[in-house]
Chain A
Amino acid sequence: MLEINAAGLHYRALNERIREAAAKGEKEIRVKGVNGQYYIGAGLRGGAVITLEGTPGNDLAAFMDGPTIIIKANGQDNICNTMNAGKVVIDGNAGDVLGYGMRGGRLHVRGDVGYRVGIHMKGVKKQSPTIVVGGTAGDFFGEYMAGGVMILLGLNSKDGAPLAGDYLGTGMHGGAIYVRGEVDKKYCGAEVGITGLDDEDNAALKEALTEYCKDMNLPLDEIMKKPFKKLYPASLRPYGNLYAY
């Protein structure tokens, strides 16, 4: 295990040290004294597990391709921007625009997330990103979603309280959003359909939540007891006729 002290380091210096360690084949990296450094783990490849102590800055794990980053605090904005593979686990809350254009890998958040989470998320065949949020989400959850899976659990929410904000799934044209509880159509984008889960959905949900619950040390069975709703794109090409006049 390698330990790096990030206190006072600019992100460029910090990332250089992380990349250097990963290139040498270091499997476990612990970074202490993180506060506000942007782009940690950006573009990083390989399979290292990086644990951060402190509050990392924006664009954590942008373009990341393989490693696992564990954050023992809250995350800020733009985490997993265009991430390709790997995993980010956040023990606290996280900010806005998480998983922007994310194309693979996992983002696990224990607490609440902000606005525009999963915007433009995409997936093709086996390449499918997953975002699991333990708490609640702000407006525009899954906006313009094109692929992958988003799961919203609302673990500390009161029964009946909305788990997501307004404009849920607006512009969605691929992928699936699973919400643990009821979803009010009036808060959803026009392109979204709401349904119960079939066997295939349940299998996908269980698979995603098994890993999430392991990371967060949560009881899977209990979480699965409450019924979920699935949000899906009502049309694959909602604007296919927009210019076909």
Chain B
Amino acid sequence: MNHDYHKDISGCGLTGLISKKKRRVSGREIVKSLCLMTDRGNGLGAGYAAYGIYPEFKDCYALHVMYDDPEVRWSVEDHLKANYKVEKIEEIPTSPVKAIPISPLLMRYFVSPLKDKLAGETAADDFVVNTVMKVNSEIGGAYIFSSGKNMGAFKGVGNPSDIAEFFRIDEYEGWTWTAHTRFPTNTPGWWGGAHPFTLLDWSIVHNGEISSYGINKRYLEMYGYKLTLLTDTEAAAYMLDLLIRRHGLDISTACQALASPFWKAIDGMNEGERDALTALRQTYGSALLNGPFSILFGHGGGLVGINDRIKLRPLVAASKDDVVYMASEESAIRTICPSPDKVWAPRAAEPVIVEFE
């Protein structure tokens, strides 16, 4: 037996920042933060999500689409043109990077649903979600991996620095950023499986594994979501859309559904709180994310960080002036913010909810 082999000991890493004043920050910052954690990730996935990057198209949905086969592009575009007013079609700007010899065709579309398609109860957001689900599940080799307004995800197979160079992340400016370096454990390292996972404005980066994936998936399927990206984190992104946008839960309540207090803690609460949380757990038992996780989720109104209920993955937060930072490691924050006003370790299942001023 060979005792001298070098085992790749690693894990995922994540980092994010938000300016509460909606001051736009260069992508250079988040790239520097993510690239500090070189002992996390193994080059099989990295990505970035940014908010506030498309001010000239801020009222359009920005669809980022990856095509395994360039031919597929035409069927997606036929579908888009039949259903949307398409303001702009362009390739997502990329730079050649030696370490990324192959990539899917990457396109982006700034679109608004055609008015006559929104008849009846169907709101624009639902219409876009339906498009994402339809394309991702029915058009082979095409994946819409970003579909929000004035935001976008950029991700692929590669190291954080290579993916950043490839997508020219330093050319974007956003008021919220999240970023992820991947160490795939149970699922393939492919372009669609890199983080962030997004739907509409929701974007998720995740360190850990969601052991309840099967339950969560079946629950989401009942509401029309189709999970096509072969990775557990996708379920968390759609769950936020379901709980917050469609069911109208506020963010902290949604977090209590995803990472519910244990029954023994609920039993010790006063009557009102106990009844409310009992009802929440009973209603959303299938939304509970089991297993270890630290998650950052960005949305149109802010940034949230949350851990599993016994903190099996790291999460550190810090603040300086109008900016709040969250990352797997304090050093990833300090490399872009050497002297924070405050540094703290969020408790298990206690979300850090940051909203704009």
Whether A138 pairs with B348 at a CB distance below 8 angstroms is: yes
Measured in the bound complex, the distance between the Cα atoms of B36 and A165 in whole Å is: 31
Shortest Cβ distance from A199 into chain B, in angstroms? 37
- Indicate whether B212 reaches chain A with its CB closer than 8 angstroms: no
Knowing A57-B329, A76-B331, A114-B345, say if A139 contacts B36 (CB, 8 Å): no
Whether B310 pairs with A115 at a CB distance below 8 angstroms is: yes
Interface residue ranges of A61-86 to B (CB < 8 Å) = 74, 76-77
Whether B310 pairs with A35 at a CB distance below 8 angstroms is: no
User: How many of B's residues come within 8 Å of A, CB to CB?
Assistant: 18
Query: Taking CB as reference atom, which chain B residue is nearest A55?
Result: B331
Query: Taking CB as reference atom, which chain B residue is nearest A37?
Result: B331
Q: C-beta contact mask, B324-341 vs A, less than 8 Å → 1, else 0?
A: 000001111011000000
- Indicate whether A36 reaches chain B with its CB closer than 8 angstroms: yes
Query: Taking CB as reference atom, which chain B residue is nearest A56?
Result: B331
Interface residue ranges of B309-334 to A (CB < 8 Å) = 310-311, 314, 316, 329-332, 334
- Indicate whether A58 reaches chain B with its CB closer than 8 angstroms: yes
- Indicate whether B38 reaches chain A with its CB closer than 8 angstroms: yes
Shortest Cβ distance from B332 into chain A, in angstroms? 7
Query: Taking CB as reference atom, which chain A residue is nearest B262?
Result: A166
Query: Taking CB as reference atom, which chain B residue is nearest A92?
Result: B343
Query: Taking CB as reference atom, which chain A residue is nearest B37?
Result: A36
- Indicate whether A191 reaches chain B with its CB closer than 8 angstroms: no
Whether A114 pairs with B343 at a CB distance below 8 angstroms is: no
- Indicate whether A237 reaches chain B with its CB closer than 8 angstroms: no
Measured in the bound complex, the distance between the Cα atoms of B314 and A115 in whole Å is: 10
Shortest Cβ distance from A97 into chain B, in angstroms? 9
- Indicate whether A228 reaches chain B with its CB closer than 8 angstroms: no
Knowing A58-B329, A96-B314, A115-B311, say if A36 contacts B345 (CB, 8 Å): no
- Indicate whether B71 reaches chain A with its CB closer than 8 angstroms: no
Whether A35 pairs with B311 at a CB distance below 8 angstroms is: no
- Indicate whether A100 reaches chain B with its CB closer than 8 angstroms: no
Q: Name the interface size band of chain A.
A: 20 to 34
The residue that B348 contacts in the complex, of A10, A54, A95, A115, with Cβ under 8 A, is A115
Chain A's interface: helix, strand, loop or mixed, by majority? loop
Q: Provide the residues of chain B in CB contact with A10, threshold 8 Å.
A: 38
Shortest Cβ distance from B121 into chain A, in angstroms? 45
Knowing A77-B314, A114-B311, say if A35 contacts B331 (CB, 8 Å): yes
Interface centre among A35, A36, A114 (most CB of B within 10 A): A36
Knowing A76-B329, A115-B311, A139-B348, say if A38 contacts B39 (CB, 8 Å): yes
Shortest Cβ distance from B194 into chain A, in angstroms? 22
Measured in the bound complex, the distance between the Cα atoms of B38 and A38 in whole Å is: 10
- Indicate whether A93 reaches chain B with its CB closer than 8 angstroms: yes
Whether A35 pairs with B335 at a CB distance below 8 angstroms is: yes
**Which A residues fall within an 8 A CB radius of B?**
10-11, 35-36, 38, 54-58, 74, 76-77, 93, 95-96, 112, 114-115, 138-140, 165
23 contacts between A and B (CB under 8 A): A35-B36, A35-B331, A35-B334, A36-B36, A36-B329, A36-B332, A36-B334, A54-B334, A55-B330, A56-B331, A57-B329, A58-B329, A76-B329, A76-B331, A77-B314, A93-B343, A112-B345, A114-B345, A115-B311, A138-B345, A138-B347, A140-B310, A165-B347
